[in-house]
């Protein structure tokens, strides 16, 4: 047989159903004696050219080929019971669509695989196609504890530092287990069996990025929380095919001067507003309002690939430097974005309110609109305040002024019903063009923000009311009244400042009365924070339990279907209930309502957690270069292991460990929300103002450690006096002496340690 050509070798490898070894190649081409060296040179040449690749173990395949044994995840089970998998990890953005892996039926007695299961399989390829058959060798579980970490090269080799701040160990890593990772890379790693008592080792399973990447901070949060960072290519393609529909049977709203008002950096505009005085003689001083929302349901049908992906995500997630959207940009930033002077499909609600902002009636229509202008919050407010520009000056009298007049009516209604009025600053992380944090500022809350908020709340009320009118399925936004235990804890603390919470709180106006009294108090923000911590977390539910914070009996999210799946469900329910088209609720969607409500409540919590940890890491990165700098702050948490302090200027939270306090036995007094030194009688109390020094700040974990300056003076609130009826209570206490802690239980039955950390309540 003649010596093989490059074409001969490649053809053989391409047709092989599994990767082939060098021995198999030499046998196939009868390579012997003096031909061995040039044949080895030929294989090396093909490998350098990139037309074939060598896998671990020395087997050869074409570049797009898969190893003979690989890990897969089950991504589909067809109606005929065929089990289809995809290799993992697989980056579709880089590698393109994954090859199809048909899982062979398992042996009798083996558990069947379900969607989402992972397995180790042996593969055979069907000729030179990208279709494989796979036989399961082993089902994989998540007991491998895959973790995210940073590769660090040291004098003794490589190690991985986990990003999880609760992890106490670093892992050694052999160079052969780096899987292409380099010093400073962010990676997924799998712990290996310990070879020694104190030695922990791991291997890299996937490289995520490098620490110099400006988006690495958000990437950590995205990967830790399992967020879907990219869209499958077929979902992106589906989004790019969509077109704005013609008028057809839709209501023509193109002549109505609807405008969008959003932040300056917004890229998707999903709501537009309009207001005019009501012409009816029966409603003097009242208004006719229109809120038009992008008609996402026209493009995203239940059960479609776009819908499945949106359901899995549940909502968009917002980081300081990027957004992980619920829908591909082809939808969110294009056909569903209500950009000015272009036709867009919308689902709109006409609402008529009286002079006091009471909702008289409403009407939902499916329309085609054309936004008259795209305004920013600052721009709209400036126009209202008399500083108009080329955009706002021509439309002020006919568009902007009526909006503010209608807002005044809605604000009356809000104050009358007594919606919870917590005036707490919202901080904005400032990011430069390189993705680095440059500072923090309080978000300015303008009347233009409140205008849009009131319009959206009214539209959400109308949506919930409309679905109840038709006895149609609805996913409500539910916010329950505070629990008795939380109120009792806050009540005791507030009494020390001379403020009293009512005993039986049934509506938020009772809390607002206290907040109004405390408005000018030196510790008004602390009092507001304590009230905030009494609040339950809002959730989605098919049963209507009302919204305590907004003082509303019925409330459903309707105004943001681009970024919340709950709103998309409500849109479909309205379309079905009011016969606005044939693309409303899909078959079986209503029966799945409880599952959907629970799922999107969970995805919302996951997103909130990811957003918080990203902010923590951005802040820690900002403070890394400011170690030993001093800042003013407030104690916002007292625990049995130390204090949490929030910095005034940048809002960073950090821990003051117990060991850094002056040497003493410290009693954790829960009624007084304080650590109290048994010998020195030093007090470190919740809400006390302190000056701290930055001791540690770590971008990777987002952790910051502070030290109180002049801690020997303690940190108390002037004039704080415990009420007599509280001073006799017995609770658990935590003590520390010379860096050691121990807990004594004076009353084990009541031994409940409270940790006070600031949490936002989503409306």
69-140: CATH topology: OB fold (Dihydrolipoamide Acetyltransferase, E2P) (2.40.50)
pLDDT of residue 389: 94
| Residue 754: pLDDT band with limits 50, 70, 90 | very low
pLDDT of residue 583: 93
Residue 24 burial class via C-beta count within 10 angstroms: exposed 0-12, middle 13-18, buried 19 and up: middle
Angstrom distances, CA of residue 519 to CA of 423, 523, 543, 586, 646: 9, 9, 36, 50, 21
Q: Which residues contact 234 (CB under 8 A, 6 or more apart)?
A: 97, 305
Three-class DSSP category at 406: helix
pLDDT of residue 28: 85
| Residue 758: pLDDT band with limits 50, 70, 90 | very low
Q: Which residues contact 387 (CB under 8 A, 6 or more apart)?
A: none
* Whole-angstrom distance, CA of residue 278 vs CA of residue 502: 41
Q: Are 622 and 431 in contact (CB under 8 A)?
A: no
Q: Are 56 and 177 in contact (CB under 8 A)?
A: no
pLDDT of residue 740: 42
* Whole-angstrom distance, CA of residue 299 vs CA of residue 326: 14
What percent of the chain shows pLDDT beyond 70? Answer: 85
pLDDT of residue 115: 67
pLDDT of residue 68: 65
pLDDT in tens, 366-383: 999 999 999 999 999 999
Mean pLDDT of the chain: 84
The yes-or-no verdict on residue 218 having pLDDT over 70 is yes
What percent of the chain shows pLDDT beyond 90? Answer: 45
* Whole-angstrom distance, CA of residue 481 vs CA of residue 507: 8
The yes-or-no verdict on residue 140 having pLDDT over 80 is no
The yes-or-no verdict on residue 222 having pLDDT over 80 is yes
CATH level 2 (architecture), domain 625-750: Beta Barrel (2.40)
The yes-or-no verdict on residue 109 having pLDDT over 70 is no
Q: How far is CA 179 from the centre of its chain?
A: 30
* Whole-angstrom distance, CA of residue 711 vs CA of residue 199: 39
Q: Please indicate whether residue 42 or residue 689 has the higher confidence score (pLDDT).
A: 689
561 is written with which tokens? 């279907």
pLDDT of residue 729: 42
Angstrom distances, CA of residue 227 to CA of 224, 324, 425, 611: 8, 8, 28, 11
Residues linked to residue 677 through DSSP beta bridges, in sequence order: 666
Determine which of 226-235, 354-363, 389-398, 488-497 has the lowest per-residue pLDDT on average.
Answer: 488-497
- The length of the chain, given as a count of residues: 763
Determine which of 44-58, 347-361, 464-478 has the lowest per-residue pLDDT on average.
Answer: 44-58
Three-class DSSP category at 153: strand
Determine which of 28-37, 63-72, 131-140, 216-225 has the lowest per-residue pLDDT on average.
Answer: 63-72
CA nearest to 490, candidates 506, 514, 507:
514
Residues linked to residue 260 through DSSP beta bridges, in sequence order: 374
pLDDT of residue 254: 97
**Helix (H), strand (E) at residue 46:** helix 36-49
Mean pLDDT of 554-582: 97
CATH number corresponding to 144-213: 2.40.50.140
* Whole-angstrom distance, CA of residue 40 vs CA of residue 33: 12
Rounded to two decimals, the pTM is 0.74
Common-topology check for domains 69-140 and 625-750: yes
* Whole-angstrom distance, CA of residue 422 vs CA of residue 46: 68
The yes-or-no verdict on residue 757 having pLDDT over 70 is no
| Residue 408: pLDDT band with limits 50, 70, 90 | very high
pLDDT in tens, 143-174: 446 788 999 998 888 999 988 876 768 899 98
| Residue 753: pLDDT band with limits 50, 70, 90 | very low
pLDDT of residue 96: 64
* Whole-angstrom distance, CA of residue 584 vs CA of residue 568: 10
| Residue 210: pLDDT band with limits 50, 70, 90 | confident
Angstrom distances, CA of residue 162 to CA of 305, 580, 698: 35, 52, 12
Mean pLDDT of 385-393: 95
pLDDT of residue 446: 93
* Whole-angstrom distance, CA of residue 248 vs CA of residue 256: 18
The yes-or-no verdict on residue 742 having pLDDT over 50 is no
433 is written with which tokens? 């063009």
| Residue 139: pLDDT band with limits 50, 70, 90 | low
Q: Are 552 and 267 in contact (CB under 8 A)?
A: no
pLDDT in tens, 651-681: 888 999 999 999 999 998 877 888 999 999 9
pLDDT of residue 744: 35
* Whole-angstrom distance, CA of residue 398 vs CA of residue 447: 19
| Residue 751: pLDDT band with limits 50, 70, 90 | very low
CA nearest to 607, candidates 320, 331, 319, 321:
319
Residue 450 burial class via C-beta count within 10 angstroms: exposed 0-12, middle 13-18, buried 19 and up: middle
pLDDT of residue 721: 66
The yes-or-no verdict on residue 79 having pLDDT over 90 is no
Most confident of 260-269, 432-441, 708-717: 708-717
Q: Please indicate whether residue 98 or residue 675 has the higher confidence score (pLDDT).
A: 675
CA nearest to 482, candidates 530, 431, 525:
530
Angstrom distances, CA of residue 211 to CA of 161, 175, 614, 624: 12, 19, 14, 14
Determine which of 510-519, 715-724, 751-760 has the lowest per-residue pLDDT on average.
Answer: 751-760
Q: Please indicate whether residue 429 or residue 704 has the higher confidence score (pLDDT).
A: 704
The yes-or-no verdict on residue 39 having pLDDT over 50 is yes
Q: Please list the alpha-helical segments (H only) found in 87-180.
A: 92-95
CA nearest to 215, candidates 204, 203, 223:
223
The domain spans of the chain are 6-61, 69-140, 144-213, 233-414+439-465+558-579, 484-535, 625-750
CA angle 666, 672, 678 (to 5 degrees): 25
pLDDT in tens, 300-359: 999 999 999 999 999 999 998 889 999 999 899 899 999 999 999 999 999 999 999 999
Determine which of 220-234, 628-642, 728-742 has the lowest per-residue pLDDT on average.
Answer: 728-742
Q: Are 659 and 736 in contact (CB under 8 A)?
A: yes
Most confident of 65-79, 339-353, 687-701: 339-353
Q: What is the crossing angle of helices 216-224 and 593-624, to 10°?
A: 150
pLDDT in tens, 601-628: 989 999 998 998 899 889 998 898 899 9
pLDDT in tens, 240-251: 889 999 999 999
| Residue 733: pLDDT band with limits 50, 70, 90 | very low
């Amino acid at each position: 047989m003649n010596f093989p050509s490059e074409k001969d070798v490649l053809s053989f490898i391409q047709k092989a159903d599994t990767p082939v070894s060098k021995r198999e190649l030499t046998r196939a081409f009868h390579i012997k004696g003096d031909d061995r060296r040039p044949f080895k040179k030929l294989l090396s040449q093909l490998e350098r050219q990139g037309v074939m690749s060598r896998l671990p173990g020395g087997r050869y395949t074409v570049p797009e080929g898969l190893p003979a044994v690989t890990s897969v995840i089950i991504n589909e089970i067809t109606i005929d019971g065929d089990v289809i998998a995809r290799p993992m990890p697989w980056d579709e953005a880089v590698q393109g669509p994954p090859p199809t892996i048909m899982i062979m039926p398992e042996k009798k007695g083996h558990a069947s695989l379900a969607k989402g299961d992972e397995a180790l399989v042996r593969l055979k390829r069907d000729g030179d196609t990208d279709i494989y058959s796979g036989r399961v060798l082993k089902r994989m579980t998540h007991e491998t504890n895959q973790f995210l970490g940073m590769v660090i090269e040291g004098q003794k080799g490589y190690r991985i530092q986990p990003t999880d701040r609760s992890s106490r160990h670093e892992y050694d890593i052999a160079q052969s287990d780096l899987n292409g990772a380099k010093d400073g890379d962010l990676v997924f790693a799998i712990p290996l069996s310990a070879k020694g008592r104190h030695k922990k080792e791991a291997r890299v399973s996937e490289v995520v990025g490098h620490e110099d990447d400006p988006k690495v901070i958000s990437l950590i949060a995205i990967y830790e929380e399992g967020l879907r960072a990219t869209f499958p290519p077929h979902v992106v393609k589906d989004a790019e095919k969509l077109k704005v529909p013609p008028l057809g049977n839709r209501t023509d709203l193109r002549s109505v001067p609807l405008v969008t008002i959003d932040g300056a950096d917004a890229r998707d505009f999903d709501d537009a507003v309009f207001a005019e005085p009501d012409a009816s003689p029966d409603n003097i001083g009242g208004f006719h309002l229109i809120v038009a929302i992008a008609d996402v349901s026209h493009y995203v049908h239940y059960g479609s690939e776009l819908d499945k992906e949106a359901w899995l995500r549940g909502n968009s997630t917002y980081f300081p430097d990027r957004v992980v959207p619920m829908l591909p940009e082809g939808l969110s930033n294009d056909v569903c974005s209500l950009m000015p002077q272009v036709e867009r499909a919308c689902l709109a609600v006409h609402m008529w309110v009286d002079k006091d902002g009471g909702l008289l009636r409403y009407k939902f229509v499916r329309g085609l609109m054309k936004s008259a202008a795209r305004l920013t919050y600052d721009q709209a407010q400036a126009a209202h305040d008399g500083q108009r520009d080329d955009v706002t000056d021509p439309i002020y009298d006919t568009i902007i002024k009526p909006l503010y007049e209608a807002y005044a009516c809605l604000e009356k209604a809000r104050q009358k019903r007594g919606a919870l009025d917590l005036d707490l600053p919202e901080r904005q992380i400032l990011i430069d063009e390189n993705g680095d944090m440059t500072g923090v500022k309080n978000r300015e809350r303008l009347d233009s923000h409140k205008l849009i908020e009131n319009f959206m709340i009214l539209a959400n009320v109308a949506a919930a009311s409309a679905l109840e009118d038709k006895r149609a399925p609805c996913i409500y936004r539910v916010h329950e009244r505070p629990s008795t235990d939380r109120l009792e804890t806050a009540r005791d603390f507030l009494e020390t400042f001379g403020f009293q919470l009512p005993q039986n709180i049934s509506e938020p106006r009772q809390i607002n009365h206290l907040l109004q009294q405390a408005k000018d108090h030196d510790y008004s923000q602390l009092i507001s924070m304590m009230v905030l911590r009494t609040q339950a977390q809002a959730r989605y539910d098919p049963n209507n339990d009302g919204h305590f914070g907004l003082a509303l009996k019925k409330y459903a999210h309707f105004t943001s279907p681009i970024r919340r799946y709950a709103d998309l469900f409500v849109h479909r329910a309205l379309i079905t209930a009011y016969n606005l088209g044939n693309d409303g609720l899909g078959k079986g969607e209503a029966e799945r309502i409880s599952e959907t409500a629970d799922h999107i409540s969970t995805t919302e919590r996951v997103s909130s957690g990811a957003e918080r940890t990203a902010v923590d890491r951005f802040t820690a990165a900002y403070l890394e270069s400011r170690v030993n700098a001093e800042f003013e702050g407030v104690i916002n948490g007292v625990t049995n292991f130390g204090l949490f302090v929030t910095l005034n200027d940048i809002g960073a939270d950090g821990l003051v460990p117990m060991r850094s306090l002056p040497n003493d036995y410290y009693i954790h007094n829960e009624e007084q929300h304080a650590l109290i030194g048994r010998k020195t009688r030093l007090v470190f109390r919740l809400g006390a103002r302190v000056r701290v020094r930055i001791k540690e700040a770590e971008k990777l974990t987002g952790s910051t450690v502070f030290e109180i300056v002049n801690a020997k003076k303690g940190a108390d609130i002037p004039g704080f006096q415990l009420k007599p009826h509280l001073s006799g209570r017995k609770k658990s206490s935590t003590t520390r002496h010379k860096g050691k802690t121990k807990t004594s239980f004076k009353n084990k039955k009541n031994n409940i340690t409270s940790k006070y950390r600031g949490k936002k309540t989503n409306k």
